[in-house]
């Protein structure tokens, strides 16, 4: 966590600078949008990210803010609802006039807001790993792609632990499906037979793990 914090702080500064220079002259504060689920299935993960952004904003304000202005967090709750993510993103950019947004966790929420950020030329900092196969001038993808995280993990399990049979499991949405597609192809390229690869998906909120 201590290694991650300086990076998050730098991203926060970079994000505010991305659009803050112009807006700083027109307002007393530079608004920073925080688009993370505070309720619903994803709240257990995203609330921590919200708290981290607020902590970093407070730390930066104690240092004097940015461009002579204080940073002001504008927090919304998309409630783990993917269409609501897009609505809240539009609200932050058009109504609240934020300079930058830190938000989303799942790839489906990111894909939901992407057209909004591209339409309104907003800036989104996406904080977690993603499946690749997407690039936008309006998004900073700060997490690892499968070739930086999942494939090295497979290499370790295969070479160091001698794993021969594989279960590719995940929640039923774009990130697990795309990553598992990449991993399945990679495993087969390493000589793993199809019958030694099990793939399974469960819906969000699934809890009956004995049924798998």
| Close Cβ partners of 139 (under 8 Å, ≥ 6 residues apart) | 110, 114, 117, 123, 124, 125, 126
Predicted TM-score (pTM) of the model is 0.79
Alpha-carbon distance 140 to 46, whole Å? 18
DSSP state, residue 143: S
Ranges of residues in the chain whose predicted pLDDT is under 50: 1-2, 4, 20-25
With DSSP H G I counted as helix, E B as strand and the rest as coil, what are the percentages for the chain, rounded to 5? 50, 20, 35
Q: Please tell me the predicted confidence (pLDDT) of residue 121.
A: 98
Q: Please tell me the predicted confidence (pLDDT) of residue 18.
A: 55
Q: Please tell me the predicted confidence (pLDDT) of residue 120.
A: 98
Query: In this structure, are residues 166 and 150 in contact, taking their beta carbons and an 8 Å threshold?
Result: no
Residue length, the chain? 212
Q: Please tell me the predicted confidence (pLDDT) of residue 156.
A: 97
Alpha-carbon distance 198 to 180, whole Å? 10
């Amino acid at each position: 966590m201590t290694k991650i914090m300086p990076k998050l702080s730098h991203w926060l500064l970079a994000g505010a600078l991305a659009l803050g220079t112009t807006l700083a002259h027109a307002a007393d504060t530079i608004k920073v949008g925080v688009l993370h689920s505070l309720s619903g299935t994803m709240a257990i993960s995203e609330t921590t990210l919200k708290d981290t952004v607020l902590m970093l904003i407070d730390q930066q304000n104690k240092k004097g803010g940015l461009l002579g202005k204080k940073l002001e967090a504008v927090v919304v709750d998309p409630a783990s609802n993917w269409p609501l993510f897009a609505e809240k993103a539009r609200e932050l950019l058009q109504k609240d006039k934020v300079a930058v947004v830190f938000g989303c966790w799942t790839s489906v929420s990111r894909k939901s807001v992407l057209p909004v950020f591209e339409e309104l030329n907003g800036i989104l900092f996406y904080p977690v790993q993603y499946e690749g196969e997407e690039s936008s001038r309006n998004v900073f993808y700060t997490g690892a792609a499968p070739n930086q995280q999942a494939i090295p993990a497979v290499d370790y399990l295969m070479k160091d632990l001698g794993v021969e049979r594989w279960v590719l499991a995940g929640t039923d949405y774009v990130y697990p499906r795309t990553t598992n597609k990449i991993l399945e192809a990679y495993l087969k390229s390493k000589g793993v037979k199809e019958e030694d690869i099990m793939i399974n998906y469960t819906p969000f909120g699934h809890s009956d793990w004995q049924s798998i």
